Amino acid sequence: MLRDRIGKELLIFDGAMGTQLQKAGLGAGDIPEELNIEQPELLKKIHKSYLEAGADFVTTNTFGCNCLKMAEAKYEAEEMLQAAVKNAKEARREAGREQDAYIALDIGPIGQLLEPMGTLTFDEAYEIIKKQIMAVKDQVDVVLFETMSDLYEVKAGVLAVKENTDLPVFVTMTFEENGRTLSGNDPETFVNVAEGLGVDALGVNCSLGPKELKPIISRILNEASVPVILQPNAGLPCLEHGETHYHVTPEEYVEEMKGYMEEGAAIAGGCCGTTPEFIRQLAQAAPKMTAPRAVKKKTKTSGPTQTVVFGDKVIVCGERLNPTGKKKMKQALLDERYEELVVEAIRQEEAGAQVLDVNVGLPGIDEPETMKKVIKMLQEVVTVPLQIDSSSPEAIEKACRYYNGKPIINSVNGKDEVMDAVFPIVRKYGGVVIGLTLDEGIPLKAEERFEIAKKIIKKAEEYGIGKEDIIIDCLTLTASAQQKEVKETLRAMKMVKELGVHTVLGVSNVSFGLPNRPLLNRTFLTLAMEAGLDLPIINPLDKELMGTIDAFHVLFYKDIDSQIYIRNQSRETIKKEPSEKTSFGLRDVIMHGLKDEVEAAVREKLSQKEPLAVINEEIIPALDDVGKDYETGKIFLPQLIQSAETTKMAFEIIKGSFALKEGEEKGPVLMATVEGDIHDIGKNIVKVVLESYGYRVIDLGKDVKIEDVVEANRKYHPKAIGLSALMTTTVASMERTIQALRADGCQVPVWVGGAVLTADIAQDIGADYYTEDAMASVNLLEKILK
């Protein structure tokens, strides 16, 4: 079986299907998947060439074969899927490789952004991918998700496979030179989430060559405990005589790949530009067995774009998203004013919380649905991981399904029925679970709590949950009622740490019912950290409590050279005491992308200032700050789009309050994804951000014919034209579009962008400018259209 071979034998994937189809005459406007039906012999020939070169896998020609991308194709997506698999199977039979080669169902990105970046819901993405899988699930050996850029889409896909088949799942993501995917995922977060979901192999493909991918590959090899698959491009693309070429030779490619195989890569192949000759030389150079890798398992929790690793330093979990003892929050939940929880989450993140506890349990509330709504809203605006806090397995399951990352699940206890209800959820969705050391009640002695901790760890192991995914809560007792037992909690923690797991405590419980609670909390926290507390659940807005952690890190040699302490505690950087406000001003609303708060914030400013003053003094400075944060890597694409969408809403409200004078509106600018290219995610992102800066954007859509671009230029008289292309085959179409515009007398600047483009290619095809992302497009137009 395949699962018995991966990670042991070094297996070889095939190379680029697109490169071979282009050589065979695939045109810019052609749909590759249609060739499965129209030219089956060509597809079989390509598959056979890779098998004969030594590939152990052939990848079906189905990269874009979903109902959205294939909406305008000649055939139904299911027809093309079935024909593609048939071609691959016949090629394998004709090559005499039926016993030792595998058919990989190739699934690429859906082609639309998932929420919150776009409008496609998680459930819609799941159903689209499920249809692809169900069409051929009994005819393939493995499902390969490749060139993925959004971890949320990956999660939908992996669940679609695992809930409907027993097939192995491979996932490769495409990373940019900044070490992040388009949606901001870093390699560590990808590995943590994908491993948690139970993928059989993971890695990287496309975007860059093997040399350029070295930093990313090294990070994946250092973190992944599952087999790693590598399929780089044959270097960076170059445009010559209207065609895309890759100049890395097979020999150079293999030389780089040999190093990765020696470091423990388990599956090696190629992406754009790699031919059967690349695969032949790769197969010849590959060792028979996978080199061993020693990867230390760590306790890690992830949000959409960042991972928190438990280790030497104490991790702070914010406690304030919990209605217990909070009348305002209770009422906000009952009234479904979830934006108040979002504001509270932002305040805690800004105060230094690295994880946020989320509890919405109230009598009379639909906890599973409420938890789902709150989790989705929170992960739109905060990047820190979330801790799902509920006694309801249904609420935990719902939250885990829609959570974008690897959550902490709070919690189970020593009762078998509780563990049997929650551990399957932890295993399926890949969470880190908190185990409470109680069963029928809270044991008074440390030894009793220790025994319950051992029981939880043993039971978790039966479900395939390792110690690295368990955090034990030895339970904080109140000094006012159980003063004698407070020290038993500290003693229990020291004992539990010997089991090789991390620990958590709700710190403030110790002071309940006593005066000057902050003093008791700080003192107990210090004692608990010395006893081995890793995750205190506290109020991060309490500066003295947070300062206690900083001081502990200095005194216990965890903050080397006191760098964090100095940064946080110096008089120049100590922040004012946070207010208890439940809403933000307009500037903060835009920076955090709080769409539910924008109308009230705009109207408040309009009551104080003229509309143009609101734009120039509030909105534009906020947008500039967002742009700087994006360019410096402080925020990522999801947050950028949230801010842009919020700003668009603000502009619409302002427009209703005054008539724009002639010349005040920026633009218009014309945008299009060029003929033959059905990918318009990048263009749509640029459009949203430009509109947030006040530009009027005339969007011609995707796969736009050359003559339609020329006609639109005559009709709208834009001040600039933006062209987008994602496929190497359509760069030539972009060049012809520019030539046609110039031949028609168009003198306005043309800027281009897309994953396959570089500044050199842009110059070669006659474009005036190249931009790598949305903010670069804004900066360009702000400069050239003044």
The predicted pLDDT at position 598 comes to: 92
Q: What is the pLDDT of residue 371?
A: 97
Divide the 786 residues of the chain into consecutive groups of 10 and give the mean pLDDT of each group. Answer: 95 94 82 96 97 98 95 94 98 96 97 89 98 98 97 98 98 93 94 98 94 96 97 83 79 97 98 96 97 94 96 96 91 93 95 97 94 95 96 97 98 97 98 96 95 98 97 96 94 97 96 95 97 97 95 95 91 51 81 91 90 84 88 87 88 70 73 84 82 89 92 94 82 90 94 86 92 89 88
Q: pLDDT value at position 241?
A: 63
The DSSP code sequence of 106-126 is: EE---SSPBTTTSSB-HHHHH
Please give the pLDDT value at position 662.
45
Pairwise CA distance, residues 644 & 652, whole Å: 13
Is 206 annotated to bind a ligand? Reply is yes
Are residues 635 and 774 in contact, defined by beta-carbon separation less than 8 angstroms?
Answer: no
What pLDDT does 731 receive? Answer: 84
Q: Which amino acid is at 234?
A: A
Kindly list the domain boundaries of the chain, sorted by start residue.
2-24+31-285, 301-314+383-569, 586-655, 666-784
Strand partners, 230: 204, 268
C-alpha 111/C-alpha 637 separation (Å) is 16
Please tell me the distance from the alpha carbon of residue 259 to that of residue 263, in angstroms, as a whole number: 6
* Residue 240: DSSP 8-state: E
Strand, coil or helix: what is 554? Answer: helix
pLDDT digit string, tens, across residues 635-685: 888 888 889 889 888 888 887 765 544 446 788 999 999 988 777 777 887
Q: Which residues lie closer than 8 Å to 26 by C-beta, 6 or more apart?
A: 18, 32, 35, 729
Which residue stretches of 298-411 are H helix? 327-334, 339-351, 367-381, 393-402
Q: Please tell me the predicted confidence (pLDDT) of residue 573.
A: 58
Query: Residue 67, annotated ligand binder?
Result: no
Residue 578 is predicted with a pLDDT of 46
CATH fold of the domain at 666-784: Rossmann fold (3.40.50)
Assign 3-state DSSP to the chain and report helix, strand, coil percentages, each to 5: 50, 15, 40
Residue 119 CB coordination number (10 Å): 10
Question: Is the distance from CB of 558 to CB of 544 less than 8 angstroms?
Answer: no
Q: Count CB-CB contacts under 10 A for residue 163.
A: 11
Per-residue pLDDT, 614: 87
The structure's pTM equals 0.88
Measured CA to CA in angstroms, residue 411 lies from 345, 431, 535, 689 at distances of: 21, 11, 14, 41
Residue with tokens 């368990």: 470
Please state whether beta strands 666-673 and 720-724 pair in parallel, antiparallel, or not at all (unpaired): parallel
Architecture of the domain defined by 2-24+31-285: Alpha-Beta Barrel (3.20)
317 is in an annotated binding site: no
CATH 3.40.50.2000 fits 301-314+383-569, yes or no: no
Pick the CATH number of 586-655 from 3.20.20.70, 1.10.1240.10, 3.30.70.330, 3.40.50.300: 1.10.1240.10
Query: What is the per-residue burial (b if ≥16 Cβ within 10 Å, else e) of 125-160?
Result: bbebbbebbebbbeebbbbbbbbbbbbbbbbbbbbb
E-only strand ranges, 117-250: 142-148, 169-173, 201-205, 228-231, 237-240, 243-246
Q: What is the tens place of the pLDDT at every residue in 455-508?
A: 999 999 999 999 999 999 999 999 999 999 999 999 999 999 999 999 999 999
Distance, CA of 470 to CA of 462 (rounded, Å) = 13
> Which pair of tokens denotes residue 730?
């359509």
Q: How far is CA 386 from CA 374, 405, 571, 577, in A?
A: 11, 9, 31, 24
- Pull the structure tokens for residue 209: 């060559």
Digit-coded pLDDT (tens) for 523-552? 999 999 999 999 999 999 999 999 999 999
Tell me if residue 55 falls in helix, strand or coil.
coil
Asked if the domains 2-24+31-285 and 586-655 are classified in one and the same CATH topology, the answer is: no
Largest Cα separation within the chain, whole Å, is: 89
Question: In this structure, are strands 307-309 and 300-302 parallel, antiparallel, or unpaired?
Answer: antiparallel
pLDDT of 661: 47
